[in-house]
């Protein structure tokens, strides 16, 4: 009970800290750009509800309000029908040029995205990111790397003349080269040299399960895991068939099994049919019969799925600490990496939103305040680095969410201003109010739905 209360307390505190930082940065964006364009600020509030502390500077009341679940900036003349004294008109948001108003509105989400860029920049430049050393541990038979003469133990130092520091650098260089030949500089013992190899196009699957073309050379920074039995689940098909710990699986239905991935693939594609599994046990070859069963699971996105399994797990194999390296980059490279990583997450988020709208992605993948609080608590207990990285991820999501063209969100305001720029006059006030009411209704429905998913997830 004490542990549950402790976790709840940590999650609640972490949630308030995360939300407070994100809202402050978001509202700071609106505030800073508005001030640059000469718009008066009446209130800058962290939180909603009654004012519990604050300080007035000029016409601006900087305040902390009672409910720490948001925040806002109240600008002079931010309502189209606001009645203003003549001397206040130069400070009025409504009376500024249309493009200045658009920049002020867009600044909040943009600052959220820039916060993520800054966090990633600090990780790459100041802290460093752990990655695998650019050392070949395994070369696939008959692969481009094998044909070019790469050997296990070779250290890759450059690709097409560009220095590589980690295995991630290698993966990106190969992906960008696609199927064009690349020059790979290697160090083998005390000798160095260059080889030419051509990446091979293969059909793979992305995080959403969609097929896509990937380019591979047939080398990995780790040894492939053999299809060896680590544990056998009680009451599983594997136990009923007689599989035991340390059995090495050689083939399934006469299909060779060279590694763990082959085993998973053949079992998952079995559709529950009887499988003939050839194993080696204490040097002896045996053939066992096993029928996979359908089990519930979740994919990488948290969607409920069903997969065929036989009830075995591989032995734990860890990568040696000596294979890891902490990579720090220079300021320019780190800034580029910050924008690149933020861009990758933005792209992933937009694709997710599109798939949700088209029904290709389950709504069960959505997470609301409860899930954010839970994850914030977990990251806080894991360390400050994990919590800061979590803040970057949520900041990106908040920025993208606010840019959606839904009235009452920043994206909705941008939509109205875009229409105004096209037609040459503001959108009809009554229509705008009705649209905002509809947008608020949609957001409330979405919030209720997400809360329901959060609660259902807790009970799962």
Note the pLDDT tens digit of each residue in 15-60.
888 888 898 999 999 999 999 999 999 999 988 889 999 899 989 9
Q: In the annotation, is 27 catalytic?
A: yes
Burial class of residue 280, CB neighbours in 10 A (0-12, 13-18, 19+): middle
Domain assignment present for residue 253? The answer is yes
Closest CA to 403 of 391, 394, 415: 415
Clarify whether residues 374 and 451 are in a common domain.
yes
- Beta strands (DSSP E) in 29-169 are 41-57, 60-75, 129-132, 138-139, 155-159, 162-163
Q: Is 158 part of a structural domain of the chain?
A: yes
Q: Pick from 168, 201, 220: which residue ends a domain?
A: 220
Q: Is residue 22 part of a domain?
A: no
Same domain, residue pair 355 and 442: yes
**Residue 370 and residue 345 share a domain:** yes
Is the model's pLDDT at 425 over the cut of 60?
A: yes
Q: Are residues 295 and 191 in the same domain?
A: no
Residues in contact with 97: Cβ distance below 8 Å, sequence separation at least 6, in sequence order: none
**Cα gap 82→67, rounded to integer Å:** 27
**pLDDT value at 454 more than 70:** yes
- Polymer length in residues for the chain: 460
Residues 6+ apart with CB under 8 A from 71: 23, 24, 26, 27, 45, 46, 47, 48, 65
Residue 277 and residue 170 share a domain: no
CATH number assigned to the domain comprising residue 201:
2.30.42.10
For position 337, what pLDDT does the model report?
A: 93
- Tally of domains within the chain: 3
433 and 401 within one domain = yes
Same domain, 143 and 113: no
- The answer to whether residue 173 is domain-embedded is yes
- Its pTM stands at 0.80
Backbone angles phi, psi at 343, to 5 degrees: -60, -40
Residues 444 and 346 in one domain: yes
| Residue at 280 is within a domain | yes
Q: Based on the fold, state whether residues 376 and 439 are members of the same structural domain.
A: yes
Find the catalytic residue in 27, 234, 374, 433: 27
In this prediction, residue 413 carries a pLDDT of 92
Output the pLDDT for position 302.
60
Verify that 345 and 309 share a domain, yes or no. Answer: no
Please indicate, yes or no, whether residues 360 and 430 belong to a single structural domain of this protein. yes
**pLDDT, tens only, 301-312:** 666 678 899 999
Query: Which pLDDT score, from 0 to 100, does residue 319 have?
Result: 65
pLDDT at 115 (0 to 100): 97
Domain housing 149:
132-220
Does some domain include residue 239? yes
Q: Which of 295, 313, 331 is the last residue of a domain?
A: 313
Question: What gap in Å lies between CA 330 and CA 324, rounded to an integer?
Answer: 20
pLDDT tens-digit map of 324-366:
888 899 999 999 999 999 999 999 888 888 888 887 777 777 7
Same domain, 451 and 386: yes
68 pLDDT more than 80: no
Phi, psi for residue 133 in degrees, rounded to 5: -60, 150
Domain boundary among 296, 313, 330: 313
| pLDDT surpasses 60 at 403 | yes
């Amino acid at each position: 009970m004490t542990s549950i209360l402790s976790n709840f307390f940590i999650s609640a505190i972490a949630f308030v800290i995360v939300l407070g930082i994100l809202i402050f940065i978001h509202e700071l964006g609106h505030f800073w750009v508005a001030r640059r364009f000469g718009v008066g600020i009446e209130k800058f509030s962290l939180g909603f509800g009654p004012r519990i502390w604050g300080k007035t500077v000029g016409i601006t009341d900087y305040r902390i309000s009672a409910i720490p679940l948001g925040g806002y900036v109240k600008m002079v003349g931010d309502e189209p029908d606001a009645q203003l004294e003549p001397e206040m008109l130069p400070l009025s948001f409504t009376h500024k040029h249309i493009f200045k108003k658009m920049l002020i509105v867009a600044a909040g989400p943009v600052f959220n995205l820039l916060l993520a860029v800054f966090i990633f920049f600090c990780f790459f430049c100041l802290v460093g990111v752990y990655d695998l050393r650019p050392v070949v541990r395994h070369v696939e038979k008959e692969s481009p790397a094998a044909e070019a003469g790469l050997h296990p133990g070779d250290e890759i130092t450059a690709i097409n003349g560009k220095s590589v520091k980690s295995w991630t650098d290698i993966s990106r260089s190969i992906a960008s080269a696609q199927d064009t030949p690349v020059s790979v500089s290697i160090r083998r013992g005390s000798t160095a040299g260059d080889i030419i190899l051509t990446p091979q196009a293969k059909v793979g699957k992305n995080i959403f399960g969609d097929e896509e073309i990937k380019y591979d050379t047939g080398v990995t920074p780790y040894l492939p895991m053999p299809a060896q039995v680590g544990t056998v689940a009680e009451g599983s098909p594997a136990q009923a068939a007689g599989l035991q710990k340390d059995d090495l699986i050689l083939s399934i239905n006469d299909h060779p099994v060279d590694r763990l991935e082959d085993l998973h693939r053949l079992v998952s594609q079995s559709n529950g049919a009887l499988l003939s599994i050839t194993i080696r046990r204490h040097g002896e070859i045996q053939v066992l019969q096993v029928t996979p069963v359908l089990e519930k699971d979740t994919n990488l996105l948290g969607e409920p799925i069903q997969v065929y399994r036989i009830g075995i797990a591989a032995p734990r194999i860890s990568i040696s600490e000596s294979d890891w390296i902490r990579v720090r980059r220079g300021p320019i490279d780190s800034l580029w990496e910050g924008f690149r990583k933020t861009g990758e997450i933005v792209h992933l988020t937009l694709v997710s939103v599109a798939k949700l709208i088209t029904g290709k992605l389950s709504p069960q993948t959505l997470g609301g305040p409860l899930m954010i609080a839970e994850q914030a608590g977990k990251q806080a207990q894991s360390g400050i680095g994990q919590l800061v990285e979590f803040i970057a991820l949520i900041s990106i999501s908040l920025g993208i969410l606010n840019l959606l063209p839904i009235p009452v969100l920043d994206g909705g305001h941008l939509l109205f201003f875009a229409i105004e720029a096209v037609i040459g006059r503001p959108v009809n006030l009554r229509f705008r109010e009705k649209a905002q009411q509809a947008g608020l209704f949609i957001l409330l429905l979405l919030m209720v739905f997400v809360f329901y998913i959060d609660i259902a997830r807790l009970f799962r």
